[in-house]
Amino acid sequence: MFLDKSRVATHLLAVTIAATIVGAASGVGSWALFEALDRATELRLDHGWLVWLLPVAAFILGAAYHYVGGTANRGTSLVVEQSLPPVDPSAPDHTPKIPYRMAPMIFAATFIAQLTGASVGREGAALQISGSVTSLLAKPFRLKPSDMRLMLIAAMAGAFGGAFGVPFAGAIFGLEVQQTGRLRYEGLAPALAASITADFIVESLGRHTPIVEIPVTIDWSIALRLVVVGIAAGLAARVFIGVLHGVKKAMRDLVSWVPARPIIGAVATLALMLIFGRDYLGLSLPLVDQALDGIAASWWDPVLKILFTAIALGCSIPGGEVTPLFVVGATLGSALSGPLHLSPTLAAAACLAAVFGAAANAPIACAVLAIELFGAGMAVPAGIVCIVAYAISPKHGIYEGQRHGSTKDLRPTAVLPHHS
């Protein structure tokens, strides 16, 4: 018995040490990516003509991913899928494989996309970079398939935690995003080690996540109005997922030559820009800053950000979904705050977390994210909005590799009797 416990403890220590290395790599990768994207955004704002190169950039990226990308085409969904254990425990187990080329390809692609104004995010790129780099550990560390899957959980946790300065939310995200309604607790220590390490590395390299303490007063009236915000957040996630998948299906059905799809997305983006302006190009972080500063957003802001982003991603322009969904959430909460007589910063902060949580099927991680970013007072408001939004959102989220382990209606599932 003592020897068994000793082996378990030794294995857990070894896996946690490996996860710490993964977290350090995730932190360095996230820092380098975000520094590069800051420069790309500055260049685009200083040289407005760069947006007119978006169709050319989209064609180059589409051709590169189609002809040499291989499985890297699947992006974050591949990392999520490869972190899952086999559905059938009796089936032969294989070491998860994330192509090494994914890291340099998504780094370059996201830089080019931001430089030319595509409405795509950056955190999905960080997840892919972390997953790809983690694959390098399999051989030198002689990791078993089950341990490699734990390292991919750690990679996702490190990328998310380091990206936003939210180590606890990052750890939960790495566990929660794999499968709805199921958490793999054996991955908790590696995920936490990787997320804390990544956050420390990013902070040490000079990128600091500002903590905005939001004063919160909660009563039954405010709680009920927050339920309305949660319903709106869930519906926004549902609309985004529906439009995104609709655009993807239309591209598959109507455009047989894959490299042409990003060109269509780029031309559509420029057409929308000519009609609605440039606020919705790139990350659109100023819209988040304004919402959190209490400046009321227009009802058009979340609608247009959904449209710009779903078209870009649906037409296979490489990038992530996280930051655009944060923009959708923050602006939606801000727009709702007036009619609902809520604090605009409170509504924006809670909805920021809830829309992405609903779209990614990760409500717990995003509620914790709100607490880490906006203070402990956000626990109840964020919890209400994130849970309601999750219940409203569709079963299938933004990550196609995610496994569905439970219903979305929050009712307890029946437990079938076990027959030996």
CATH number at residue 12: 1.10.3080.10
Q: Supply the pLDDT for residue 10.
A: 80
Query: Do 127 and 267 fall into the same domain?
Result: no
- Domain closes at, from 149, 170, 204: 204
Q: Which domain holds residue 268?
A: 220-404
Query: Do 384 and 354 fall into the same domain?
Result: yes
Residue 414 lies in a domain: no
pLDDT along the chain (420 residues), means of 10: 67 87 94 95 96 97 94 90 80 80 94 96 90 82 85 95 94 92 86 96 88 87 97 97 96 95 97 97 96 94 98 94 96 97 96 97 96 94 97 90 69 44
Q: Supply the pLDDT for residue 27.
A: 95
In a 13 Å sphere around the CA of 207, the CA atoms on its Cβ side amount to 23
Q: Supply the pLDDT for residue 247.
A: 97
Query: Do 241 and 355 fall into the same domain?
Result: yes
How many structural domains does the chain have?
Answer: 2
Query: Do 166 and 284 fall into the same domain?
Result: no
Residue 215 lies in a domain: no
Q: Supply the pLDDT for residue 415.
A: 44
Query: Do 191 and 280 fall into the same domain?
Result: no
Query: Do 178 and 290 fall into the same domain?
Result: no
Q: Supply the pLDDT for residue 9.
A: 76
Q: Supply the pLDDT for residue 113.
A: 96
Query: Do 39 and 186 fall into the same domain?
Result: yes
- Domain closes at, from 148, 171, 204: 204
pTM value surpassing 0.85: yes
Q: Supply the pLDDT for residue 408.
A: 60
